[in-house]
Chain A
């Protein structure tokens, strides 16, 4: 999955939470800009799990942008892919 597909999936999940698509950009911060609370962060993680089958950790001491979330998505997908090739 490339970055744009990961971003499309993430934006669809956020839009499903009722966030206007026009407010979603690569440098948008989850907490500061979107004002997501902990339950909404959980919903994003559950959405990623259901749609992509991956577990992405979104909690942390620092706020993260949508682009950084996509980086984490790709890192998990890559790790999963590599582990699948190990017999």
Chain B
């Protein structure tokens, strides 16, 4: 349940998804980058491949697409997977955000990240009056969980 407060009335949608890391790893290892562009943006592929935990990063990106689809209220019908982009690199390896707010070197979950929408996903978000996203992810065992709030 959402706490009382002004911000709670601004929530336009909520989405959550759990993705099994080994299954997403199987996908990303089976297909080349050109084929994976159907699912992930070039930026996501580049960032995930250069991540210290590429399989986990790809799983977060995948779960983000499902979670955003739920928050939009349409699922992914009429929306391309690669029109929903997750950027997990808000926090640098040194534990600093791009906006210079200091975070510990090993932050505890859930981890915040950014969502960017393109094409029909962006159009659908505008229809819903969504102006921004709050997104976090965490993992346990072989799964990732992504939670998004559309504001």
Contacts and interface: CB of A to CB of B under 8 A. Distances in A.
Interface of A: 38-39, 42-43, 45-46, 49-50, 55, 57, 59-61
Given A38-B66, A46-B35, A49-B38, A59 B76 contact: yes
B75 A46 contact: no
Contacts of B75: 59, 61
Interface of A is mostly: helix
Interface in B21-42: 23-24, 27, 30-32, 35-36, 38-39
B38 A55 contact: yes
The 8 closest A-B pairs by CB, nearest first: A59-B76, A60-B77, A50-B35, A49-B38, A49-B35, A59-B77, A39-B23, A46-B31
B38 A39 contact: no
Given A39-B19, A39-B23, A39-B24, A45 B77 contact: no
Interface residues of B, number: 21
Interface in B1-35: 19-20, 23-24, 27, 30-32, 35
Given A46-B27, A49-B31, A57-B78, 4 more contacts: A45-B38, A50-B31, A50-B32, A59-B77
A2 B108 CA distance: 54
Contacts of B81: 42
B148 to A, nearest CB: 16
Nearest to B17: A38
Contacts of A42: 27, 39, 62, 81
A61 B77 contact: yes
Contacts of B39: 42, 45-46
